[in-house]
Amino acid sequence: MARTDWNRPPLAPLGEGLRRIRMTVSYDGAGYHGWQSQENGVSVQQRIEEALLAMLGEQVDVQGSGRTDSGVHALGQVCHFDIRSKVPVRAFKPRLNHLLPPDIRVMEAEEVDGSFHARFTTMAREYRYLVKQIDDVTAFDHHRIYAVKELPSMELLEGYAACIQGTHDFSTFCAAGDLSPSKFRDIYVSKWTLGKDSYGYGLLTYTICGNAFLYHMVRSLVGTQLDCAHQGLSVQAFREILDSKDRGRAGRTAPSEGLYLARISYDPDEYAWFEER
């Protein structure tokens, strides 16, 4: 049974005369207090709701696949909203992009039926975390990567990442304030890759894909792996930290600026192999 079913309310059919629009959105998180509306500071969701009000004359509630923290970026955040307007769906992308600030872009918009829900029908979430050695930071990286003094051993990082893959109780990597009833999560992909940025400078990327994540879990996993690798800690010792379920044994929480919500999957078959392992 997929664990994303927790707390899922029954999906109601769309109300009379309502249409549901699904959108994929990219945003540069540097200028926002996260995805969801907060008391202080502007959120991405709020900017999209304002643009929809200007476009449609309707007050619309936008539902994201999940929150992102202040400063966290998105390449493929997914959201949905219900409208009464008859505006053709192909008009949403160009008209909203005209109204939105340039650090929020609608990449796709399509009409879906009431069985789609951006949050409750999510099957997997993929994050990327970008790290660079400070020597390789260019003028185009500000607020978009985490700069470290030296890159640690790839062999250790790869070993740690392999431990994370699978189903685990991730209490070690869960910040205070997480209200999830269970700290178990299914991690389908967890890997480090050392490559180049578009200009040929070294770029270290951590990719993690799972059914769901605890509060600050990705940033805590990244910070702890980097700390452990810098200290030369063995893969076995890292596994013990993971198994300890003791938040006190985690390393730093890596900064938000390196984190990208990369992709949301709604395909129940994409990781169907996972439950059978």
Nearest approach, Cβ of residue 151 and a copy of itself (Å): 16
| 217-256 footprint of a copy of itself as x/- string (CB under 8 A) | ----------------------------------------
Chosen residue from 107, 162, 189, 212 binding a copy of itself by CB under 8 A: 107
Q: Is 69 a catalytic residue?
A: yes
Q: Which of residues 3-42 bind a copy of itself (CB under 8 A)?
A: 26-28
169-172: long-range contacts, CB 8 A cutoff, minimum separation 24: 169/245, 170/214, 170/217, 170/242, 171/245, 171/246, 171/247, 172/220, 172/224, 172/241, 172/242, 172/244, 172/245, 172/246, 172/247, 172/249, 172/250
Chosen residue from 2, 14, 75, 87 binding a copy of itself by CB under 8 A: 75
> Does residue 143 come out as left (phi exceeding 0), alpha (psi in the -120 to 50 range) or beta?
left
Asked if residue 35 lies in contact with residue 77, where contact means CB atoms within 8 angstroms, the answer is yes
**3-state DSSP assignment of residue 237:** helix
| 62 is an interface residue for a copy of itself by CB under 8 A | no
**CA–CA separation, 231 vs 195, rounded Å?**
23
Tokens of 199: 């200009």
Nearest approach, Cβ of residue 142 and a copy of itself (Å): 4
| 116-155 footprint of a copy of itself as x/- string (CB under 8 A) | ------------------xx-xxxxxx-x-----------
* Count of C-beta atoms within a 10 Å radius of residue 135: 11
Nearest approach, Cβ of residue 112 and a copy of itself (Å): 20
Residue closer to a copy of itself, measured from CB, 27 or 127: 27
E-assigned strand segments in the chain: 19-27, 63-64, 73-83, 104-112, 124-133, 146-148, 166-169, 184-196, 202-210, 259-265
| 195-214 footprint of a copy of itself as x/- string (CB under 8 A) | --xxx---------------
Active-site option among 5, 61, 69, 267: 69
| 90 is an interface residue for a copy of itself by CB under 8 A | no
Residue closer to a copy of itself, measured from CB, 84 or 142: 142
Binding site for a copy of itself (CB under 8 A): 26-28, 73-75, 93-94, 97, 102-105, 107, 134-135, 137-142, 144, 197-199
Residues marked as catalytic: 69
